[in-house]
Structure formats: structure tokens, C-alpha cells
Amino acid sequence: MRASAYPLVEVDEAADLVLDRTPILGVERVALAHSIGRVLAEDLAAPASLPAFPSSAVDGYAVRSSDAGKPLRVLGESAAGRPFAGTIAPGTAARILTGGVLPDGADCVVMVEEVQLDGEVVTTPAPLRPGSNFHRPGADVRAGERVVLAGTQLGAAEVGLAAAFGFPRLPVHRRPRVALLSTGDELVEVGDKPGRGQIVDSNRWALLAALREVGAEVRGLGIAPDEPEALRQLVVDALREVDVLVTSGGVSVGTHDLVKPLLESLGTVHVGRVKLKPGKPFTFATIPAPPSPRPGPPPEGGGDSHTSQEGGRGKLAFGLPGFPVSSLVTFEVFVRPALRKMQGFARLQRPMLPVRLAYDAPATADRTEYQRVTLRREGRELVAESTGSQSSSRLMSLAGAQALVRIPPGDQGIKAGTTVEAMILSLP
């Protein structure tokens, strides 16, 4: 064992260091079907008004409000997609269905429940209000209005708006390509029976889930042994194909911890230790692009096209600690915001909210603790209960956790009843 040469960096400072060096990826135009869940790269402005024509909100009769109370001759019908061709002159009306165009001459629609019908003659109540029961052109959206802003994730309503305006493709940021690698001689694949002293590689699966959730395209590289040359070869090959490398294990100060020296030899290590529990050995490095960048592979989703080139861009490397909770907490704090920045998200961070502790929270002298808690509502407050033992090996402390409460460094700990800041994962 040797002492670490890396300074202990404050959590927020380390997070800023990561984001400062994280690029925003280029833009590709993808078919609507492929845009779902992606981040819009340019503001979407309405090319036309919605609705484009005066559109009936109900089934009824299109009339002139000045004819209120009079018997009116019904000239025809305006159904959705089948407009009435004529004009409503004084003393006449047209049957109209929801979504039908309000005929020329008419200035309101009377609901079918409110009229008296006698053959082809309809009598409306009096008085009638001009403008009632139809949607004016532009009532929903005016031409030129910005309907979806850049940085918005495209969900159901946004994709629906794009479709309503007739956009078959949308400009979205490219997804980050991430290589994922576990390190450690003790690891065996899921499904293989661990021998004495061996454990199943669970981090790769937990991190795969976390990476997918944030929108990354993941290339699984399997397990690297604690052997410098084998590890180097895997990493160098992977970096040719991806934007980001994520490893777990091999970043503490044991003699088998090879990730830091490797990253040091390939690029620049900006963070080598953080004042964070769990996750002190978290490592972040940048690696320059190879001298002659090869053209990237064709984009996914047949026919989608890149509109900007990002050749020559450097790569990010995250060396996460091996303990399962440490790897996931450092992912939340450092990797997730970076991957969101790469995709152009307007908001990078999970919401932070004050929560009241329902338990006495121990503190660590020199590090901020991110303790895993469940939440419940008491009146207007959120109350946090510990998920039990906070050992960094105990993945059960994260299963079902709804927030990570931030316990500042200190000798005393924090008493139940105190309000602290929490990173919210899901609200009760």
C-alpha cells in the first residue's frame, strides 16, 4: 500500500471540474419515431397557427348570432374534414360537427341540445354570443410562437406538437457512446458460480441500468483482470469507439489498483480523490483524441443524418470505486450530470430539496456523506428515514432509496429533527 498523491477535492468542486470539461455532443436529425426521449437541439417554432381554421368545439348548428331565436333554414352540413361550401346568409344555418370548419357568414355554434328542430328548420335560443363554441384560428398556438425549447426532453406532448406542425424529423443531440468495464481478479460473470474468494460482477449491470436510464448507448467490455497490459489494451481499443469510458474498481491505493496510473499515462487525471462518502477514490480524467480521427459509424435508425461533425474531440474517463454503493453514488453525483450535459439537457442535476431527518445521522470528519433514505410527507415537509446500514458494500441501502441526504463533514453528526439538503431520486 502507498499513500495517494491526489488531493482530496470538495464534492461540488469535483462536480464542476467534470462539467467544465464535458462537451455538448453534436446534432443529428432523426425521424419522429426515434426522437422520443431525446433532447431537442434547436427551439421548435410553429410554422403555422393552430387551429389553422375556425373549428367547432361541439356538435350543433353554425348560425349568425343576430338570428338568435328565429327559425332558420338548414342549408347543409360541415363535418370534420368535410367543410360546408356555402355561406350562412341571414335566416339560414348549417349542421356542424366537432372539428368541422365554421362556415363563412356564421359567427357562433349552438349546441345540438339547445335547439328545436322541425324538419329542415332549426330554432335557436336567444340571446346568442358571437364567438361561442368554436376555436378561433391561432387560439392554441400562434404562427411563429416557440412551442418546444432547445434542451427539452421530447415526451408525449412535445412529440405530439411536432407532429401537429408536420415535422417528420427533429434535430436532437447525439447520445453519448459509453464503454463500460469492470476490473478485478475476484470477479466472475453473472450465471457463473463464484469460487472461494470470488464475487459476481454486479456493478456492470447496475451501471448499465444507470447509463441506459440517462440515455447513453452502452458498449459492455466485460471484466478486465488486475493486469496492467490486459487492462490497457481493452481501454485503448474501447476509447477509439466511444465518447466516455466508465470503469468500476481498481481506483483505491492498493497495489492492484491500476486504473489511475493507466488514465494518467493516457491523458490527464483531474480528480483523483473526493471528500465524499461513499466514493472517496472517484477518479475523473480526460484523454485526448487520437491524432487521426476516423469517421464515426452511421447513425442508428436508418436515414437519420448527422448535421454537425465533432471529429477530434477528446474523451472522458470515469474511474468509479469498486464497492457497489460507491460506484452508484459517484455515478449519480458526477457521471449522470455529465452525460446529461453531453445530450444538451437544459437541467443537469436532480432536484435538491430540504428534508427533515427522522434519524440521528452520523457524520464523517473530513467528508460529506450522501446517506440513502426513504421519504414520507408530514404536512408540507418531507421526512427522511435511513435505509439501514450505510456500508458502501450494502447495495440494499440504495434499493428503494428515494433520496440521498447530504450530511456535511463534522465530528458530531446531525440530530433527528434537523433539516438538511437532499438529492431527490423519487418523491413519495
Which residues would be at the binding site for Mg ion (CB under 5 A)? Answer: 184, 249-250, 322
Decide which of Mg ion, ligand AMP, none touches 364; Cβ closer than 5 to 8 Å per partner kind. none
CA-nearest of 202, 246, 218 to 338 is: 246
- Per the CB < 8 A criterion, the answer to whether 84 and 92 are in contact is no
Rounded to 5, what percent of the chain is helix, strand, coil?
Answer: 20, 30, 50
Decide which of ligand AMP, Mg ion, none touches 54; Cβ closer than 5 to 8 Å per partner kind. none
Decide which of Mg ion, ligand AMP, none touches 272; Cβ closer than 5 to 8 Å per partner kind. none
Which residues within the stretch 204-223 sit at the binding site for ligand AMP (CB under 6 A)? Answer: 204
The residues, ordered by sequence, that sit 6+ positions from 30 with a Cβ below 8 Å of its Cβ are 38, 169, 170, 172, 299, 301, 304
Decide which of Mg ion, ligand AMP, none touches 321; Cβ closer than 5 to 8 Å per partner kind. ligand AMP
- Bridge partners, 224 (sequence order): 183
The number of helices, as runs of H, and strands, as runs of E, in the chain is 8, 29
Helix/strand/coil for 221: strand
DSSP letter assigned to residue 335 = I
Q: Cell 355554434 sits at which residue?
A: 109
Residue 320 sits in the site that holds ligand AMP (CB under 6 A) = no
Candidates 249, 272, 279, 344; binder of ligand AMP (CB under 6 A) is: 249
Nearer to ligand AMP, 98 or 198 (CB): 198
Candidates 54, 103, 279, 324; binder of ligand AMP (CB under 6 A) is: 324
Cβ burial 320-331 (10 Å sphere, 16+ → b, else e) = bbbbbbbbbbbb
Nearer to ligand AMP, 226 or 243 (CB): 226
Residue 252 sits in the site that holds ligand AMP (CB under 6 A) = yes
- In whole angstroms, the minimum distance from the beta carbon of 35 to ligand AMP comes to 34
Residue 182 sits in the site that holds ligand AMP (CB under 6 A) = yes
Stretch that binds ligand AMP, among 84-92, 272-280, 295-303, 321-329 (CB under 6 A): 321-329
- Interatomic CA distance for residues 14 and 333, integer angstroms: 10
CA-nearest of 323, 320, 322 to 336 is: 320
- Per the CB < 8 A criterion, the answer to whether 38 and 154 are in contact is yes
Candidates 202, 268, 349, 374; binder of ligand AMP (CB under 6 A) is: 202
Number of residues that bind ligand AMP (CB under 6 A): 18
Residue 203 sits in the site that holds ligand AMP (CB under 6 A) = yes
Residue 286 sits in the site that holds ligand AMP (CB under 6 A) = no
- Interatomic CA distance for residues 237 and 260, integer angstroms: 18
- Per the CB < 8 A criterion, the answer to whether 245 and 315 are in contact is yes
- In whole angstroms, the minimum distance from the beta carbon of 205 to ligand AMP comes to 9
CA-nearest of 75, 69, 72 to 87 is: 75
Phi, psi of 140 (to 5 degrees): -85, -50
Residue 28 sits in the site that holds ligand AMP (CB under 6 A) = no
Residue 184 sits in the site that holds ligand AMP (CB under 6 A) = yes
Stretch that binds ligand AMP, among 46-54, 239-247, 249-257, 374-382 (CB under 6 A): 249-257
| Bridge pairing between strands 283-287 and 268-271 | antiparallel
Candidates 27, 46, 187, 335; binder of ligand AMP (CB under 6 A) is: 187
Stretch that binds ligand AMP, among 9-17, 163-171, 251-259, 410-418 (CB under 6 A): 251-259
Q: Cell 415535422 sits at which residue?
A: 167
CA-nearest of 355, 385, 390 to 371 is: 390
Decide which of ligand AMP, Mg ion, none touches 27; Cβ closer than 5 to 8 Å per partner kind. none
- Residue ranges that bind ligand AMP, judged by CB under 6 A: 182, 184, 187, 199, 201-204, 248-252, 254, 321-324
